[in-house]
Structure 1
Amino acid sequence: MAKEIGVAPVIFNGDTRLAQGWALQMQAYFDMNDEVYNNNKKKIIFFLSRMQKGEASKWAEGHLKQM
Protein backbone atom coordinates (compact mmCIF):
# COMPACT_ATOMS: atom_id res chain seq x y z
CA MET A 1 0.00 0.00 0.00
CA ALA A 2 1.36 3.40 -1.00
CA LYS A 3 2.11 6.02 1.63
CA GLU A 4 1.30 9.69 1.28
CA ILE A 5 4.12 12.09 0.45
CA GLY A 6 4.30 15.59 1.90
CA VAL A 7 1.88 17.44 4.13
CA ALA A 8 -1.78 17.80 3.21
CA PRO A 9 -2.96 21.35 2.50
CA VAL A 10 -4.53 23.23 5.38
CA ILE A 11 -8.22 22.97 6.14
CA PHE A 12 -10.17 25.33 3.88
CA ASN A 13 -11.91 27.98 5.96
CA GLY A 14 -14.47 29.06 3.37
CA ASP A 15 -12.76 32.34 2.42
CA THR A 16 -13.51 32.60 -1.29
CA ARG A 17 -10.48 34.87 -1.80
CA LEU A 18 -8.28 31.90 -0.89
CA ALA A 19 -10.23 29.19 -2.74
CA GLN A 20 -8.24 29.13 -5.99
CA GLY A 21 -4.87 28.92 -4.25
CA TRP A 22 -6.14 26.24 -1.89
CA ALA A 23 -7.54 24.20 -4.80
CA LEU A 24 -4.15 24.43 -6.57
CA GLN A 25 -2.43 23.16 -3.42
CA MET A 26 -4.87 20.27 -3.30
CA GLN A 27 -4.18 19.43 -6.96
CA ALA A 28 -0.43 19.46 -6.31
CA TYR A 29 -0.95 17.15 -3.33
CA PHE A 30 -2.97 14.73 -5.47
CA ASP A 31 -0.29 14.84 -8.17
CA MET A 32 2.41 13.95 -5.60
CA ASN A 33 0.24 11.16 -4.22
CA ASP A 34 -1.20 9.70 -7.40
CA GLU A 35 -0.70 6.15 -6.12
CA VAL A 36 -2.83 6.87 -3.04
CA TYR A 37 -5.50 9.02 -4.73
CA ASN A 38 -5.76 6.90 -7.85
CA ASN A 39 -9.40 7.55 -8.71
CA ASN A 40 -11.77 10.49 -8.70
CA LYS A 41 -13.89 9.22 -5.82
CA LYS A 42 -10.88 9.14 -3.48
CA LYS A 43 -9.84 12.62 -4.59
CA ILE A 44 -13.32 14.06 -4.16
CA ILE A 45 -13.79 12.56 -0.70
CA PHE A 46 -10.41 13.84 0.49
CA PHE A 47 -10.99 17.26 -1.12
CA LEU A 48 -14.37 17.64 0.58
CA SER A 49 -13.01 16.36 3.89
CA ARG A 50 -10.56 19.29 3.96
CA MET A 51 -13.49 21.76 3.92
CA GLN A 52 -14.28 21.86 7.63
CA LYS A 53 -15.09 25.48 8.42
CA GLY A 54 -17.82 27.98 7.66
CA GLU A 55 -20.05 27.73 4.62
CA ALA A 56 -17.53 25.44 2.94
CA SER A 57 -18.21 22.85 5.62
CA LYS A 58 -21.96 22.92 5.01
CA TRP A 59 -21.45 22.72 1.24
CA ALA A 60 -19.00 19.81 1.53
CA GLU A 61 -21.21 17.92 3.96
CA GLY A 62 -24.09 17.99 1.52
CA HIS A 63 -21.90 16.59 -1.25
CA LEU A 64 -20.39 13.91 0.97
CA LYS A 65 -23.87 12.69 1.89
CA GLN A 66 -24.59 12.18 -1.82
CA MET A 67 -21.55 9.97 -2.37
Structure 2
Amino acid sequence: MQNTVAVERQRLGLSQVQLAAVLGVSRQTVISIEKGRFDPSLPLAFRLAAVFGRSIEEIFTPEAGN
Protein backbone atom coordinates (compact mmCIF):
# COMPACT_ATOMS: atom_id res chain seq x y z
CA MET A 1 0.00 0.00 0.00
CA GLN A 2 1.28 3.44 -0.89
CA ASN A 3 0.69 6.44 1.34
CA THR A 4 1.29 10.16 1.70
CA VAL A 5 1.87 10.13 5.46
CA ALA A 6 5.33 11.75 5.26
CA VAL A 7 4.06 14.46 2.91
CA GLU A 8 1.04 15.19 5.11
CA ARG A 9 3.15 15.20 8.28
CA GLN A 10 5.59 17.67 6.74
CA ARG A 11 2.71 19.82 5.46
CA LEU A 12 1.61 20.25 9.07
CA GLY A 13 5.17 20.90 10.26
CA LEU A 14 5.20 17.86 12.54
CA SER A 15 8.20 15.71 13.33
CA GLN A 16 7.86 11.94 13.41
CA VAL A 17 8.07 12.10 17.20
CA GLN A 18 5.29 14.69 17.39
CA LEU A 19 3.01 12.72 15.07
CA ALA A 20 3.67 9.54 17.05
CA ALA A 21 2.71 11.32 20.28
CA VAL A 22 -0.53 12.65 18.78
CA LEU A 23 -1.42 9.18 17.49
CA GLY A 24 -0.34 7.32 20.64
CA VAL A 25 2.18 5.13 18.80
CA SER A 26 5.96 4.87 18.68
CA ARG A 27 8.19 6.82 16.32
CA GLN A 28 9.19 3.48 14.81
CA THR A 29 5.56 2.86 13.89
CA VAL A 30 5.37 6.22 12.10
CA ILE A 31 8.63 5.46 10.26
CA SER A 32 7.37 2.01 9.22
CA ILE A 33 4.08 3.43 7.93
CA GLU A 34 5.85 6.21 6.01
CA LYS A 35 8.21 3.72 4.36
CA GLY A 36 5.34 1.38 3.47
CA ARG A 37 6.69 -1.46 5.60
CA PHE A 38 3.63 -1.48 7.86
CA ASP A 39 -0.05 -0.98 7.03
CA PRO A 40 -1.84 0.62 9.98
CA SER A 41 -4.92 -0.82 11.59
CA LEU A 42 -8.21 0.73 10.54
CA PRO A 43 -8.56 2.72 13.80
CA LEU A 44 -5.02 4.09 13.35
CA ALA A 45 -5.74 4.96 9.71
CA PHE A 46 -8.82 6.90 10.86
CA ARG A 47 -6.73 8.76 13.46
CA LEU A 48 -4.15 9.65 10.79
CA ALA A 49 -6.90 10.92 8.49
CA ALA A 50 -8.37 13.03 11.29
CA VAL A 51 -4.99 14.56 12.19
CA PHE A 52 -4.33 15.42 8.55
CA GLY A 53 -7.87 16.60 7.80
CA ARG A 54 -8.06 14.16 4.88
CA SER A 55 -10.01 11.03 4.02
CA ILE A 56 -8.35 7.64 4.36
CA GLU A 57 -8.55 7.27 0.58
CA GLU A 58 -6.55 10.48 0.13
CA ILE A 59 -3.74 9.11 2.32
CA PHE A 60 -3.65 5.40 1.43
CA THR A 61 -3.86 3.90 -2.05
CA PRO A 62 -3.35 0.32 -3.19
CA GLU A 63 -0.20 -0.39 -5.15
CA ALA A 64 -0.61 -1.03 -8.85
CA GLY A 65 -1.64 -4.62 -9.54
CA ASN A 66 -3.35 -5.11 -6.18
TM-score by length of 1: 0.31
Larger strand share, 1 or 2: 2
- TM-score by length of structure 2 reads 0.32
